[in-house]
Structure formats: structure tokens, C-alpha cells
Structure 1
């Protein structure tokens, strides 16, 4: 019965028996036969079949939602992956945002592999939203994910968006002291690769005041690192999340503009399945990331309210 369910779920995820067969190491005919046997046992048709693609029936859609998480739990239990004596091993598939992953998570990899040499990282650096369960990821790091049944989100740090510019740019302009002063600045903004739109932030300060970002848009990019680089070149004032600006802020190549003002931009979360029987490789990765965030004070470093940020002196 378990192999029948496995064939059904993977066929539904991939859209074909042949693709499922490649993942399972079976023949396409064997996968199709297992799904047909399952349909016979259930007394319902799960797929509408065509020569090009499989389509779930309404009953198949319902069954997929109900069986997916339970199937994964059962498979983990049968393999005994949660035993405390297990040596963490295997392929660890993780998704994370490109810039954040490259600058904050990838540098931790040598120490992680030193602790757990039998784990093989399979990491995807991308800013797209993923289906953690459907695409068979062990974990994901980022923000803005949908939280379906079976997934837990552990907040690693809040995220703020701030304004920053190169010291050379600021030296050529009158001081920016209040949000209204932004009207005479040159804005470098990030547009969403999904919608093509620029996010409208609302600035706030510790006194509870709020103000719209009245910064004229002079150039836009779909990649935070490009915005940061353009600002370092002295081309204008960038509005971006602190994690994307932190290396430049800490080096001094960028400084905060209106350092008392910031915008709430969500948070950075560690996503993983809610199974009590987490594989050892996933469990140690989750614990390791949480440990390193605390050890390196990452949450404090990317907090716009922290006094450690460099500020403009113009």
C-alpha cells in the first residue's frame, strides 16, 4: 500500500508516470499499475489520463491533500530517521534567498560540514516562493512563504527596510534630516521580480511618527545586490532591507540616511516540516542555524533600531 501511495503522490507532483518513475527507480508501467491498483482499492478515479499529462480529479485533489503529510510521517517512522543514535547523513535540500543565503548562511557551511561530514548539501539560492513539501525540500530560509498544513515557521530575526547612500553622495547634497527632505534625493529602488512593482513602505521612528517614502524613483533593479552596488557608486539613495545592505553598512561604504527612521519588512524565518520524527539531518541543521544566529548576533545586527549601525555625517 505504501508504494501505491508513493506512486500516486509523486505522479501528482510531477504530472506524469514517467517522471515519477525516474524519481522512484521504477518503470513507467509499474508506476501506472500501482496507481491503478490504488484507485481500485479506493473505488474512485484519482487521475484523468491523457497522452500528454495527468490531471487530478476532484477526488484526487482531496485525497492528495489528506495523504501527503501523513505519508511522509509514516515513511520517516519506518526508516527510523528520528532516533537519537542516528548519525546525521544524506542529502540536505534547502532553499534560501540568493543574497541572504550567500552572505549569511553559506559562510557557516564549513563548520556545519565539520560537525556533520556525512551530510551532503543541496542548496538552492533563489528568491522564488517554493512548495516545501511538494518540491521535497528539507528546510527553507527566507520570508513571505505561505504556511500550509504540515509546515512550521521559526522566526530567526525581524527585518527592517532602511535608507542608505554612499558618503560621497551625501557630501554633495544638503543634509537629509527629515522624511520630507527625501523629495530632493535620487531613489534607487527594488522592484519585485514577480509583480514588477516597487513596494510602498511606510517609514516610522521610535516616537511613533509615520511618513511615506517620498523618494523620487530614478532607477530600479530586481536584485537587492544591484541596488546596493549602485548606491555604493554614489548614484543615489537606496531603500532596501538591512540584511541586503549590512555588509556595506558595516564596512562604511554605505551609511544610513535618516537613521532614526525605518520600515517594517516582515522577518526571516526558518521553515521545516512539523513532523515529530524529523530526519536527523534536518534536525541538526535547524538547531545549527538557530545556534549560529544567536552566536553571531545576526538578529541584533540587522535590527534598524540597533545603535551599532553607522550613520551619515553630512
Structure 2
């Protein structure tokens, strides 16, 4: 009977194409992973990988074996991870990725309640402006929008991701409010260059009736982070198009005002993403359900909806 360590080392090495990367994921040394795979090959009597100094490639037998056991291994690992602690509660390290501004502003305040409810779960939360590879990078979940739903990844929608036009009261002092999105082009624009594409993102806005208008801001100030856009707008440097969650506290406090309030751009949905498994680890299920309930309790979907602006 093969050990779980041998099978895990094989599957992770096959997924990541490297003993070193598999070792990092499994918290082992590369030598230990290589040894586990070699033992598995010896016990099976077949070569599973073609090895070179640059690349690790599955043999035909290796690919067939990977396909045969991958799903079963995931279920076994999920069952192990889902075993309750001595107190009967979900336990383990919970690795989650989320955008810095959104995560710190809206998700982090939920952490005290989550820890109180699940004291045996240890959060490891990463605040980063990128879309992580949930499987390859070993995340339990990610919160954001626009993630690629590759095989095995599912999304649970939390709220709409709506973009609205904002500026500071000081900037708008003495200026005539724009009547529609097209008129935003006459103001100083604060725009963002995408880290992924290197391009400046422009939006098309719509109203409640479904009428669409281009909202093309001038490129007077260019940054690469939404938090910097928000701060530039707060400083009275111009108009910015930002996600409602990123500016909601400023809109509620009056530090920013919403322009063309009947109009918004639809950037999709804010969702929690996680790996679909027959037996989802207890810590992941607890987190996904907790976040969904918190969004419902605090009416965040309604508060984030730019379509409800006045």
C-alpha cells in the first residue's frame, strides 16, 4: 500500500512541474519529494516522470496514473483537513487572497467575529493586487472579481462590482456638475494603468433604464493602484472612476461626492472563489459561509450597488 506522502509528492510534482515547487507546497525538502516519487516508481515498477535539469515531464504511464488518482487524493486530503479538532470545531491554517483596499476596509473588520466563532482556525490572509492561482499557490479561497473559473474552481457571488464617478467637494466647488458620463471628459481625470495589461482602463456607464454612455476621463494623473486613485481624488486633484466598496466610507462621510449619480459601470461581481471538492475542508466551508452571511447581514450587496445611487 502506497503512503499518502508518496502520492502527494507525485501529484503535486505533476501539477507544478517541479520537485522544488512541490516541496514548497508540501513543506518538505526537494530531496524528500524526489525520494518519495522515486519510491513510488520503484513500488509500481514504472517510470512516472522524464527528468532533466530544466524540466519535469510526465511519461504516458505517469499521466494515466495521475488522472486515475488525482480526484481520490483530493477527497482524502479534504477529509483529513476537514476532521474537527478536539473541541469539535473546524481547524487549520486558512490562506485567503484579497485586494488590499477592499480587504482591509471590508473583510478585515469581520475577522474578530470569525476568530471568536472559530478559534481553531488560524487566518493567513494575503492582501495583494493580483489574481492568484488558487490551486497552484495553495490558497483555500480568494475574494475579488474576474477570476478565471478554471476546472475545479467555483465562485459564490457576494455583491455587484459597480464603478462610479467621484470627486472631492473642494474640486467641484465652483464647477458645474456634469449632466452625463460624456461630460466627465471636461474634468481633470485620475486614471489607473492596469498591472496585467499595461493599458489604461476606460469604462462605459449605464443608467437604470439600460442606456449606455462612454465615460472617457482625460489622463491627467495616471497611477497603478485604486487606493492611490482614491487618495488623489480626496486631495482634490480631479475625477476618478472607482469601485463603490473602495469609496463607500468617503461617500458616506462626505469626503467624496458622487457625480452623474444615476450612472454606473458594471465590472461583474465580487465573489469568494474556492476549490470545488466532494468533501470541502471544514475551515474553508466555515469561511465561505461566514463571509456570505456577513455580506447578507450588513446588506453589503445593496450598499455596493451603484445602480441604487441617488
Distance 1:218 1:14 in 2: 43
3-state SS of the aligned residue for 1:158? strand
CA positional deviation for 1:147 = 1.1
Q: Deviations over 1:123-151 (max 9, x none)?
A: 11112121212222111111111112222
In structure 2, what is the equivalent of residue 98 of structure 1? 100
1:245 is aligned, of 244, 247, 251, to 247
Contact 2:92 2:283 in 1 (8 A): yes
Structure 1: 5+ residue stretches without partners = 310-314
Q: Closer, same or farther in 2 for the Cα pair 1:181/1:22, shift >3 Å?
A: closer
Contact 2:187 2:217 in 1 (8 A): yes
In structure 1, what is the equivalent of residue 256 of structure 2? 254
Tell me the number of residue pairs that the alignment of Structure 1 and Structure 2 aligns.
306
Structure 2: 5+ residue stretches without partners = none
Distance 2:82 2:230 in 1: 47
Q: Closer, same or farther in 2 for the Cα pair 1:43/1:177, shift >3 Å?
A: farther
Alignment of 1:55-204 (within 5 A): 55-57=56-58, 59=60, 67-78=69-80, 81=83, 86-204=88-206
Q: Closer, same or farther in 2 for the Cα pair 1:198/1:38, shift >3 Å?
A: same
1:298 is aligned, of 294, 297, 300, to 300
Q: Deviations over 1:77-122 (max 9, x none)?
A: 3566279x83111111111111111101001111111111111111
Give the TM-score normalised by the residue count of structure 1: 0.87
Give the TM-score normalised by the residue count of structure 2: 0.88
Distance 1:271 1:6 in 2: 23
3-state SS of the aligned residue for 1:261? coil
Distance 2:185 2:29 in 1: 64
Contact 2:177 2:259 in 1 (8 A): no
Contact 1:91 1:122 in 2 (8 A): yes
CA positional deviation for 1:243 = 1.4
3-state SS of the aligned residue for 1:156? strand
Q: Deviations over 1:18-69 (max 9, x none)?
A: 5544654656444323323444566764433234x44224645676566544
User: Which stretch shows the higher mean deviation, 100-109 or 298-307?
Assistant: 298-307
Distance 2:218 2:25 in 1: 51
Distance 1:286 1:28 in 2: 33
Distance 1:25 1:142 in 2: 27
In structure 2, what is the equivalent of residue 234 of structure 1? 236
Contact 2:25 2:137 in 1 (8 A): no
